[in-house]
Structure 1
Amino acid sequence: MLKLFRTDSEHRDYEKLTDLLNEDLAGRYKVEPSLFAKINEKRLSWAVVLYHGEVAIGCGAIRPFEENSVEIKRVYIHPDHRGSGAAYQLLAELENWAKEMSYSRIVLETGTGQPEAIKFYKKHGYTSIPNYCEGTSASRCFEKMLKHDQKQCVAG
């Protein structure tokens, strides 16, 4: 059974998962994990940890980006749980949290070394936008407009 837990980036399970993410990215891009660890230096107030039973298997976060926009950061699903639908549950939770806070747009940056991530985001309604990250031609940026549920009044 999968459970989602809202927290921040200082949660111990979030930190363990982002360490695994750093190792994964370092292998994909042939760099030192410390390069990606620098990304974790900034505290993220809105993080989610995904559990399978009592085991933390995934994480992600959002942070303010521009007016009415948030950015998805540090998404990771343990390899043993990829392809299970866990990533979609995590993504949906991040999107729902952004909508709850009245954000209307969500953006993200991934890279050419993560083709499965690019495919995943496109499958879930993200469209390509010009890169907003500096310094790497491997970056690929995406956005999605968030649809807010409209409550309908029924005359009685």
Structure 2
Amino acid sequence: MSEPVIAVEPPHQPEVARLIEALDDYLGSLYPAESNHLLDLDALAAPDVRFFVARIAGRAVGCAALRLAADYGELKRMFVLPEARGRQVGRRLLARIEAELLAHGLGILRLETGGRQPEALGLYRAAGFAERGPFGDYPDDPLSIFMEKRLR
């Protein structure tokens, strides 16, 4: 089976919209609406966001976004289809996000995720993320876990 290929792509594609919909359904099954801090397709196409799609044999199997702020980047909308998990797609998406962040002269990557996602937390911890307090406009939600990784 072929290796994942990751590239910046527009989020307004039917295949990508289905990925985001699968992610929304998954998060909606885990958390109440007020605890889901999601960017929609229009927000993912904003000038301050880089949207990445992972493809295997041409099929979109994962995605992640990097939202650029003045002094850090934020990982948003990271998702890998269940049937593509275990193929290093998440790790490759993270590595691509980190490279993009460094190319923009930033060295801090932050994220917000939920405590009911042990696989995601395991990936982030293994990649060097550490827990921190809320950042940006996030409320101090007991269902949220905030993390940060310093790249340089």
TM-score bin, normalised by smaller chain: 0.7 to 0.9
Amino acid at match of 1:75: M
SS of aligned partner of 1:42: helix
Counterpart-to-counterpart distance in 2, 1:37 and 1:8: 21
Counterpart-to-counterpart distance in 2, 1:119 and 1:37: 20
Equivalent pair of 1:19/1:37 in contact (CA under 8 Å):
no
Unaligned runs of 5+ in 2: none
Find out whether 1:78 has 2:81 as its counterpart. yes
The 5-angstrom pairing of residues 9-24 of structure 1 reads: 9-24=11-26
Equivalent pair of 1:49/1:58 in contact (CA under 8 Å):
yes
Distance change (3 Å), C-alpha of 1:56 and 1:114 = same
In the other structure, the counterpart of 1:151 is none
What are the superposed Cα offsets for residues 122-142 of structure 1, whole Å, 9 maximum, x if unpaired?
A: 110001111232162100011
* Length-normalised TM-score, structure 2: 0.84
How many residue pairs were aligned? 144
The 5-angstrom pairing of residues 24-35 of structure 1 reads: 24-29=26-31, 31=32
Alignment RMSD: 2.2
Amino acid at match of 1:138: L
In the other structure, the counterpart of 2:63 is 59
Counterpart-to-counterpart distance in 2, 1:98 and 1:39: 19
Counterpart-to-counterpart distance in 2, 1:64 and 1:57: 24
* Length-normalised TM-score, structure 1: 0.82
Distance change (3 Å), C-alpha of 1:71 and 1:10 = same
Counterpart-to-counterpart distance in 2, 1:53 and 1:118: 28
Equivalent pair of 2:9/2:52 in contact (CA under 8 Å):
yes
The percent identity for this pair of structures is 24
Larger Rg: 1
SS of aligned partner of 1:47: strand
Equivalent pair of 2:134/2:140 in contact (CA under 8 Å):
no
Counterpart-to-counterpart distance in 2, 1:38 and 1:89: 22
